[in-house]
Amino acid sequence: MSKASIIGAYNTAFGAFIKKDKATGLVTDTKTYYDLLIEAGRGAIADAGLEAKDIDAIYVGSCSPGSFINQEHVAPIAAEIHADLRFKPMTRCECACASSSVALYDAVYAIEAGRARHVLVIGVEKMNLLPTPQMTHVLACSSHWPSEGSRGMSFPMLFAEYAKGYQAHYKIPAEELEKMLWTAGALCYKNGAENPLAHVQNGPATVEAIMKLNELDAKGKCKNMMIAAPLRLHDCSLVTDGAAALVITQTANVTNKARAVEIAGIGHSAERLPENVRPNMHELMAGKDAVAKAFKEANITAADIDLAEVHDCFTINQILSTEALGLSVDGRGGYDYLDGRFTRDDQVAINLSGGLKSKGHPVGATGASMHALIYKQLIGEPIGVKAKKADIGVAFNVGGSAVTNCVTVLKKL
C-alpha cells in the first residue's frame, strides 16, 4: 500500500457559472477558472488544519484550459491561494477526464520519494464559456484525433460504441438495455438531489420520469432526444464548471487519525487510444487491470467495498465500471441495477454524490471530486447522502473513451 493519506478536502459547488444575454448572446463569466482553483485550494488547506506555508508542492489536474478559457500554464495560478505558496513547485497534470486523479498519484509519488511532506492537489475545469459545438470539439481532442475526432466522432458516439458492443455481446434486447441505462441514470439523479453541491438537483429520479421525457410533443420532438444511439440526452453527463482539492501527507506523519484516510491502493492503467484497435467493446479491459492492481495493493476484494464513486460519463460506463470493479458479474450489471442494487441501502452504494450525471462533470476536477467526497464519507462528514457503512471506498475515474483508468482504494485509518 502507499505511504500517503488524505488529511483534508474541499469541493466547490458545481454548475454552469455563466450569465448569458438572450438578446445579444453575450456570455459573462460569474465564477472564473481562477476563482474556482483558488477557492478549492484554500478550502482544502483549511480543512486539513494547515497553513499555506506547510504545503511543499502543488499538483493541478486540468484537461483543456487552453481551449476552454485560453489559459495554459495553469499550475502557477495556485500561488494566488496565499502569498506563502510563492516559490513552491507547481505542476499541471493532464489525462483528459482523469487529470486530477493522475495529479493525486503524482503527489503520492512525491510523498513516497521523500521530496514532500504535505502536498496540495487541485482539480479544476471551466467548460461553459464555449458554445456547445466548440465545447464538443475541445472534448473530441481527447479522443484519437486521426481516426475519431477528425471524422466527427464525439464522445457520446464513442461510448455508444461500448453500449452497442455490450448489447450485442450479451444479446440484450434494445428495450431492456434502455431500461438498464435509465435505471442507472435515475439512481444518480435521486442521490444528487440531496447533494447541495450538485450541478443538477432536480433531475428525473425515476425510470418513469425519464420515460415521460421520451414522449414526442406536437412537433414530433422530445426532451430526452437521441444523441448517439442508443444513448439519449439523459444518458450523458453534464457540462460543468467546478473544482475540488485534497491535501495529502505521509501516513506516518498523521496526527489526527479521525480525519485521515489512507490511500491504500492505486491502479493506473492505460488502454490503446483508438477504439478500433481494441480487442472488444463490451468490457473495460484496462479498467479491470487497474482494479486488479489497486485491490492487490490494498489487499481487498470487491466484497470489502462499502461505497464507490464510478465514472458515469455515460450511463453505459456506469454499468461497465460496476462490472469492472467486480460488483456485478460480467453481463449482469444492468440487470443488477434493474433489481434495485447499489442504492444507499445496499451492501455497496454507488455514486452517492449523484455521480457525473447529477453532481456534474468538470472534466479536470472529476477525479479530485470523487476522492474528496469519499474522503468526507469515510471521516463521517458526508456531503449529501450518508453511506450506511463507510470504512472502505473506491474511486474509479476514467479519461477519454475508457483510455486512462484510475482506481483508488481509500480506507479509514
- For residue 392, the cross-strand partners are 411
Percent of the chain at pLDDT exceeding 90? 99
Return d(Cα 158, Cα 385) in angstroms, integer.
Answer: 31
pLDDT at 400: 98
pLDDT at 387: 98
- Give me the residues of the chain with pLDDT under 50, please: none
Q: CB-based contacts of 263: which residues, under 8 Å, 6+ apart?
A: 1, 2, 4, 5, 6, 104, 108, 248, 408, 409, 410
- N-to-C CA span, the chain: 13
State pLDDT tens for residues 235-274.
999 999 999 999 999 999 999 999 999 999 999 999 999 9
pLDDT at 1: 76
**CB burial class (10 A; 0-12, 13-18, 19+) of residue 302?**
middle
Q: What amino acid positions are annotated as catalytic residues?
A: 97, 361
Phi, psi of 15 (to 5 degrees): 175, -170
pLDDT at 84: 98
Q: Are residues 127 and 137 in contact, defined by beta-carbon separation less than 8 angstroms?
A: no
State pLDDT tens for residues 86-128.
999 999 999 999 999 999 999 999 999 999 999 999 999 999 9
pLDDT at 94: 98
**CA–CA distance from 124 to each of 62, 77, 331, 398 (Å)?**
6, 11, 34, 16
Q: Which three cell numbers stand for residue 87?
A: 516559490
pLDDT at 35: 98
Chain-centroid distance of CA 102 in Å reads 12
Q: What pTM value is reported for the model? A: 0.98
User: Measured at the alpha carbon of residue 11, what is the angle toward residues 5 and 117, in degrees to the nearest 5?
Assistant: 30
Looking at this protein, which amino acid is placed at residue 195? N
